[in-house]
Structure 1
Amino acid sequence: MNENRLAFIIIVGVLAFVGILWYAFENPALNPRLENESYTIVRKWDMPIELNEISGIRWISEDKIAAVQDEEGIIFIYNLKTNLVEKKISFGKSGDYEAITTADSIAYVMESSGLLFEVENYLSNNFETTEYQLPFSGRNNMESVVADTSNNRLLFAVKDIDPNSKDYKGIYAFDLETKKSNSLPVLKIPLDAPIFKSKDADDDIDLFSNFFPSDIAIHPKTGHFYILEGKNPQVLIMDSNGKLLKLHKLYEESFPQPEGITFASDGTLYISNEGKSGTANILEVIFDEDK
């Protein structure tokens, strides 16, 4: 075998190996799971640079997700099929926008200060924006919102300091008919719940305050709440009566900074990651109990 032929074979082999690695990276379901993972990543969509700080997502129709990012008052309509942003709706000035949800033709965007933006007919060119200051501030840090359409309300969880207690993080409601927000939570996440207790933790170490909700979604079939935390990546599952059902740890290899969570109408789950140390993305995820 001459040197040129040997060099050609080596080059082809290296290129094939690189191609296999790239394909596996772009198709997370092919990657081996960590021993304690309780979920499977089915697909991944890398976000364009303008969504590198993607902070909230909402599935709105077949192949389409509405998204917001931290700094700009823009709703981005991202097409999962074409991998493109197909529409932008500029509804407000620069701010700290953390979450988005929709109810029929109205989009609702939450700012961290508790300022809620109602964008009526958001997909049309003649949308109208109304602002509601909820009874929260930057000290509370509001990063979540979801439409609970069966009860004609929005729900949102306090991320940092609950205004009513240090012993729980409250889930509060905004009535879509009266446009009023309750000053007391409709549900509570008790921070001393055993579900938050690490098996390896020292009993003298206070681990109970380490849950910081960054978004919330409602499963369309079970009605369970899926509460995402980005600071210590995990998902808490809670039933509609407030019973804590399951806590899934998310590993930082795949979830470096999860900030948004949403369900499609068929129960398909999507979680978005900010581009903390790379490219932001949206992941399709299946938890083991949902298989």
Structure 2
Amino acid sequence: GYRYYEENKEVRKRKAQVIYIEGDGVMVKARDTQKDNKHYDLSHFVVHTGSQKVGSNRFELQDKKEFIGLDNRLVREQVIDYLFNNYEITNQTLLITNSDGGHGYTPYVFKEIAKVLRIKRHEHFWDEYHVNKELKNYLKFYSEDLLERAFQAIKQHDKQLMRTVLDTTESYIDTEEEQELFEKFKSKILRNFQYTKPAEQRGFSHAGIGIMESQHRKVTYRMKKRGMYWTLAGAETMSRIIVLNYEDSLRELFFGTWREDYERFISLEEVSAYTIKKRMSKTDKENISRYQCYPDSKRLSYFRKQ
């Protein structure tokens, strides 16, 4: 309710030629009710408009906004809502996305975000740090030369060279277990190879891409490195407070005008609910019913069709 009320407020939308989105999971230890401590994944997304040099060796992300929570789908919807409400999307808007490709962060997930926002130009990256880690973790058991050639294949975006590296690796395999692991590795590398194409070969700078690990640190340091244990709800709340603190938004949370807006929304709901119901035409009822059948992520696009 309040979320949609807030969306109707006039916001001066930003004009940005390029919008960046990165997403990844942060593992925290927490307990759900009376159960033992387990590891839970917090979904973490970062939106920004580029990286700018602010010191001799320091860069700062422009217009950075972070989203974090336990429900991956809900956090993605918050990202969509934020971009829809705060950015002017045009045919020239370029969306650059980056992730490790894990569950909830696949290329498809980011393609869906681009589709809902009607962004026509979208470039997705398989995160360089994770690509290198994947290659090192597997090929280190075979030969240093193969690893170097694999890195070269990525750098030059040479799929044929990568196939040669994989074929050579397969020739060293002796057991069924090794073969099974190899097939998984090969499939993952070739399936995602298109997303390893360097930014420079796509016509833009690599600056501002691959920032997620550094953005995780503030959450992991405060929640994991100090020997603290959390309830599930507590872990989610604390992660959001940490992000708000870094965005200098904590004061707004406790003292901001949103509280007055929310009060007005509540009174508006109480006063107008009966009136709306009484006056609503048959067509309106059908439209509302149809709207309620839409999943949250599709509701924005439904409204724009009306």
TM-score range normalised by the length of the shorter chain = under 0.3
Higher helix share: 2
Higher strand share: 1
Higher relative contact order (CA 8 A, sep 6+): 2
For the pair shown, the structure with the greater C-alpha radius of gyration is 2
TM-score, with length taken from structure 1: 0.25
